[in-house]
Amino acid sequence: MTDSNPEERCGSDGDLALRTTLLPKDTNPAGTIFGGVILSLIDQAGEVAMRKINPHRRYVTIAMDSIKFIAPVFVGDLISLYTCKPEVGRTSVSVQVDVLVERRDRPGVEVIVTVAKVTYVAIGGDGKPIPVVG
Ligand SMILES: CC(C)(COP(=O)(O)OP(=O)(O)OC[C@H]1O[C@@H](n2cnc3c(N)ncnc32)[C@H](O)[C@@H]1OP(=O)(O)O)[C@@H](O)C(=O)NCCC(=O)NCCS
């Protein structure tokens, strides 16, 4: 998977979907936050964005179209996930999710650590795709 076009990034101009900090239990052997934990946060942030598209739909993730871990995340970082540029298809919606952190020793300064594009599909009660809008 490749990085998204930098011009397509939301940064802190996007919609704030989630803000959290993580614990030592979330680290990898290198002592930084495990990528799978960040992926989980990205998926949750995208789901929050889907609620704004059509709150009456149930969505499942069909693809993480692109992801790039640009810089590490550390225990104690204030992690913010921003979403932008939703692209609404017939049954699917793709959205850009950017992860920014404020380091403990640099309050007030957010740096971008991960960028991703995620696609969700609206499903009906039978688990099959249904139109996002309508
Ligand atoms: C989501 C699911 C219901 C879609 O069923 P499907 O029959 O494969 O869907 P379709 O081929 O009709 O495609 C549905 C939409 O997804 C889009 N899509 C399909 N594959 C895609 C991919 N690799 N990347 C991005 N979009 C994709 C299609 O273009 C279509 O969008 P559109 O209607 O806006 O044009 C089915 O794949 C599924 O249940 N997957 C598991 C989802 C899940 O459990 N996710 C949680 C993680 S385990």
SS3 118: strand
Closest ligand 1 atom to 123 CA: 3
Over residues 69-87, the pLDDT tens digits come to 999 999 999 999 999 999 9
SS3 74: coil
DSSP of 14-42: SEEEEEE---GGGB-TTSSBPHHHHHHHH
Q: Is the Cβ atom of 62 under 6 angstroms away from ligand 1?
A: yes
Q: Is the Cβ atom of 61 under 6 angstroms away from ligand 1?
A: yes
pTM equals: 0.94
Over residues 88-111, the pLDDT tens digits come to 999 999 999 999 999 999 999 999
Strand partners, 13: none
HEC per residue, 75-115: CCCEEEEEEEEEEECCCEEEEEEEEEEECCCCCCCEEEEEE
pLDDT of residue 1: 43
How far does residue 97's CA lie from ligand 1's centre (Å)? Answer: 19
Q: What CATH architecture applies to the domain 6-123? A: Roll (3.10)
How far does residue 92's CA lie from ligand 1's centre (Å)? Answer: 7
